[in-house]
Structure 1
Amino acid sequence: MSVTEQHLLDDWRRPSLWQRLSAFDWIWAMLVMAGTVYAHVRYHTLMDAYEVAILYGTAPALIALGWHFKAIRGFSLAVAALSLLGIWLYGQDLARSETSFLLKYLLSSQSAIMWMSALYVAATPVYFAASASRSEFVGRVATGMTWTATTMGLVGLMVRWRESYLISHDVGHIPVSNLYEVFILFSIITALLYLYYEGRYRTRALGGFVMLVISAAVAFLLWYTFDRGAHEIQPLVPALKSYWMKIHVPANFVGYGAFALAAMVGVAYLIRARQPADSDGLAARMIPDLDVLDDVMYKSIALGFAFFTVATILGALWAAEAWGGYWSWDPKETWALIVWLNYAAWLHMRLTKGWRGTPMAWWAIVGLFVTLFAFLGVNMFLSGMHSYGEL
């Protein structure tokens, strides 16, 4: 029986979701709703009706996520606690980032994001070391570093959101508006997706491969910070002053993160496929079975495709409101369509023709380069109505 068939059988044998819910699950739901109400009461003066709808729509999604991915609960609570502490330390004075020890070295947006960057890069060799040594302790250290990096990255974004309003209410905005901010978001989402599959399949062997692509994003982020001063908070251009940005961009980057995860799993697949099935070589000892890799790659692309489809539809609705038309064949839109068609074809060949294995792994890797050009290359080399995203 293959790994995929075993997972399907296990899922079929499980009790229903409602039967599996425990008292802790309901406590989690109450905490999320309490936090949602607190955020509404505390910040309703800065929110319009659409933003209130997004806030309350996010609550059931986070509750369901916590029921299915239990590790996200502690993560969410840590992010909430540290973010609120950072916001409280600021008070109404942005200059306190230079006088408060915790803000200066830990909780200001830039400090938290630097911690995120250092921990992601450091986790990469630790994951490989854990796989090579088969040390459970080293593996737990790598996982802990990744969870901590992801926590600090999201805290950095949340505190940055508050910092933008401390500059001016006219400047204040959700921090998903430029390449600097979305590269942080990309790193966080890719790491969370990986951590989910790490727990789901009970293997850390893919961690080093996934951390490679996150470390590459961190390298760009650091260059963009120190060479271009991109960490400085800037006012939004008029086209981005919309509630659509709050849902379109995160949905897009769930797609990008899932596609990146699938590509790195594809790299691991190609390395593992070169080893005979009964081999005891280093690759065979470090990398999971091909069935596991194939299953993770397929599920990552399916998830990414679903979110990317939703993001594309939301983008069209936003374009209609901002520019008067749903589609204008702008370079960014055209390349988004190319990305969508690429992964639609991948899923079609997988589901209808039964394609698996090495060709699909290569396709997933090539797909990442297509996605990378749509995400970054268009901003660098092409112009259009999305030119506000240029380097």
Structure 2
Amino acid sequence: MTTSSTHSLPAPRGLHRSVFDWAFAAIVVALGGWAFHAHGASMDVYEKAILAGAMPAIIALAWFWGPIRGLLLLSGLATWGAMTLYMRATDDYGADLAQADKVFWLKYFLSSQSAILWMSVLFFMSTVFYWIGVFSKGVTGARLGSRIAWAGVFMALVGTLVRWFESHQIAPDIGHIPVSNLYEVFVLFSWMTTLFWLYYED
């Protein structure tokens, strides 16, 4: 006597995503579409390819690692705030970048230069607290180091995104996605390696 059984294949993983996952994906696609609409004419092929590739990569990363979702949303909101502050005054090419020296939040927190300086300070502080945790053999130092590292990545992302916006306000054809010189690549390297650490720590 033989028996037969059937095994159904599991449904594709994407079908089991939550409403929040799909809402996040919709936000990323909408923002990417807005970026193409608002700045597509001044982007070169290199920029368009990076932006197009970044959208599915960000969605996949946020679906795979939940904690980064809030980080990306907060970074986007802070960047939008910086853009809004810049656009309160305009010149012949767009936002008046001199606002970075006049508006409190831009001068001390949200302009690309200020945000990246904060990134540097926060990463240094994070390292100090991690070492305190190592030598004290306690969890407080490591916990503080981890939280400050998250704050450093947040400021790095804000600085990177705002720098991209700022570059398009200088003059036509000068705007560039912020991985185009050694300074920008080092910023990218800093926050990416920190994210790798935070992922494995999590």
Q: Same fold (TM over 0.5)?
A: yes
Aligned AA (1:57)? G
Corresponding position: 1:125 with 2:128? yes
**Structure 1 moving runs of 4+ over 6 Å:** none
Q: 1:165 to 1:70 in 2, by over 3 A?
A: same
Q: Select the residue among 106, 117, 128 that pairs with 1:103.
A: 106
Q: Select the residue among 157, 169, 194 that pairs with 1:166.
A: 169
**Which residue does the alignment assign to 1:154?**
157
Q: Distance in 2 between matches of 1:154 and 1:86?
A: 13
Pairs aligned (count): 185
Unaligned runs of 5+ in 1: 1-14, 200-391
Helix, strand or coil: the match of 2:36? helix
Alignment of 1:268-279 (within 5 A): none
Q: Select the residue among 24, 29, 32 that pairs with 1:33.
A: 29
Q: Is the 8 A contact 2:118 2:152 kept in 1?
A: yes
Helix, strand or coil: the match of 2:32? helix
Q: 1:18 to 1:132 in 2, by over 3 A?
A: farther
Alignment of 1:87-98 (within 5 A): 87-91=83-87, 92-98=95-101
Identity %: 45
Normalising to structure 1: TM-score of the pair?
0.44
Aligned AA (1:152)? M
**Which residue does the alignment assign to 1:186?**
189
Aligned AA (2:127)? T
Deviation at 1:117, TM superposition (A): 0.5
Aligned AA (1:147)? W
Normalising to structure 2: TM-score of the pair?
0.81
**Which residue does the alignment assign to 2:90?**
none
Deviation at 1:18, TM superposition (A): 3.7
Aligned AA (2:98)? A
**Which residue does the alignment assign to 1:68?**
64
Alignment of 1:17-56 (within 5 A): 17-18=13-14, 21-48=17-44, 51-56=47-52
Q: Distance in 2 between matches of 1:17 and 1:130?
A: 39
Q: Select the residue among 180, 184, 190 that pairs with 1:177.
A: 180
- Relative contact order (C-alpha < 8 Å, sep 6+): which is higher? 2
Q: Distance in 2 between matches of 1:141 and 1:82?
A: 23
Q: Distance in 2 between matches of 1:37 and 1:176?
A: 20
Q: Distance in 2 between matches of 1:65 and 1:87?
A: 25
Q: Is the 8 A contact 2:47 2:177 kept in 1?
A: no
Q: 1:71 to 1:49 in 2, by over 3 A?
A: same
Q: 1:23 to 1:135 in 2, by over 3 A?
A: farther
Task: Decide which moves more: 43-52 or 151-160.
Answer: 43-52
Deviation at 1:56, TM superposition (A): 3.1
Q: Distance in 2 between matches of 1:144 and 1:86?
A: 23
Alignment of 1:165-314 (within 5 A): 165-199=168-202
Q: Distance in 2 between matches of 1:29 and 1:165?
A: 26
Unaligned runs of 5+ in 2: 1-10, 88-94
Deviation at 1:48, TM superposition (A): 4.8
Q: Distance in 1 between matches of 2:16 and 2:143?
A: 27
Q: Distance in 2 between matches of 1:54 and 1:145?
A: 29
Q: Is the 8 A contact 2:43 2:175 kept in 1?
A: no
CA displacement 1:270-294 (0-9 Å, x = unmatched): xxxxxxxxxxxxxxxxxxxxxxxxx
